[in-house]
Amino acid sequence: MNPVLKTIYERKSIRAYVKRDIPENIKDEIIKAAMKAPTAGNMMLYSIIEVVDQSKKDTLAKTCDNQPFIAKAPLVLLFLADYQRWYDYFIHSEVPELCKRMKMEMRSPQEGDLFLACSDVVIAAQNAVIAAESLGVGSCYIGDIMENYEAHRELFSLPQYVFPIVLLCFGYPTRKQRERDQTCRFDKQLIVFKDKYKRLDKEEFNNMQKDLEEKVAKVNHFLPGAQNIGQHIFLRKFNANFSKEMNRSVREILQNWLRK
């Protein structure tokens, strides 16, 4: 198998790290790989903050749905959607004057700009993940960084058009983590369609359920009250408190982004 595919296929999320710093040259490669990712209009609508301050890592371990391993990760990178840099640059470049001259509206970043920036962020982040993996460094995404927007805005001095999309923890895997089984994925026919979208039917849901059953049975039992996998996942993920907080927080982010 070619080494790129091998890296992609063998990667798994790593949540426990040996006590070993990641050398600066390896960090540089990981960040360089992120910055080489495709980016909409070649605008790089993202920023990356390396979280070095241990007290900030400790805070994130709490504000990101209490995940203590964040505080122990030797390298923590915060990936931010960022239109502030370009908006400031437009002002710096006297775009408002241009607009006046050309009788155009000087608009501020809107919903589409935000989605494009989010795409840029995750593509860059995933390049970092794969580069790290190829260098023997494990990683784990933290989606909970979208929670507690107000706290994170203050913690990292974020202006109006910058906000967190993903946090990435990196470190050399413990032996136990390396030996862990990989997580399974749905069958291709449930995910990949030809020419048009297909809503799943009863039989397909039954097959999907079988996959999920295997997965859930391996790691834990149903939550109290749940009688099947759908109910379990609903309670554990979709309707969990972290999910409610994430939706509240993102609503706040959106209001802030669209504020004139």
Binding footprint of ligand FMN on the chain (CB under 6 A): 12-13, 15, 67, 140-144, 166, 183
CB of 145 to ligand FMN, least distance (A): 8
Q: From CA 173, how far away is CA 137, in angstroms rounded?
A: 7
CB of 92 to ligand FMN, least distance (A): 33
Burial class of 61 by CB neighbour count within 10 A (0 to 12, 13 to 18, 19+): buried
Q: From CA 138, how far away is CA 174, in angstroms rounded?
A: 9
- How far from the centroid of its chain's Cα atoms is residue 142's Cα? 6
CB of 171 to ligand FMN, least distance (A): 13
CB of 125 to ligand FMN, least distance (A): 9
Which of residues 90 and 242 has its CB atom nearest to ligand FMN in the complex?
242
CB of 134 to ligand FMN, least distance (A): 16
Which of residues 22 and 64 has its CB atom nearest to ligand FMN in the complex?
64
Question: Which residue is closest to ligand FMN by CB?
Answer: 143
CB of 251 to ligand FMN, least distance (A): 18
Q: From CA 152, how far away is CA 79, in angstroms rounded?
A: 12
Which of residues 12 and 72 has its CB atom nearest to ligand FMN in the complex?
12
Nearest residue to 80 via CA among 169, 168, 162, 170: 162
C-beta separation of 128 from 31 below 8 A? yes
Which of residues 113 and 144 has its CB atom nearest to ligand FMN in the complex?
144
**How many Cβ atoms sit within 10 Å of the Cβ of residue 115?**
12
SS3 112: helix
Which of residues 109 and 138 has its CB atom nearest to ligand FMN in the complex?
138
Which of residues 8 and 35 has its CB atom nearest to ligand FMN in the complex?
8
Classify residue 69 as left (phi > 0), alpha (psi -120 to 50) or beta: alpha
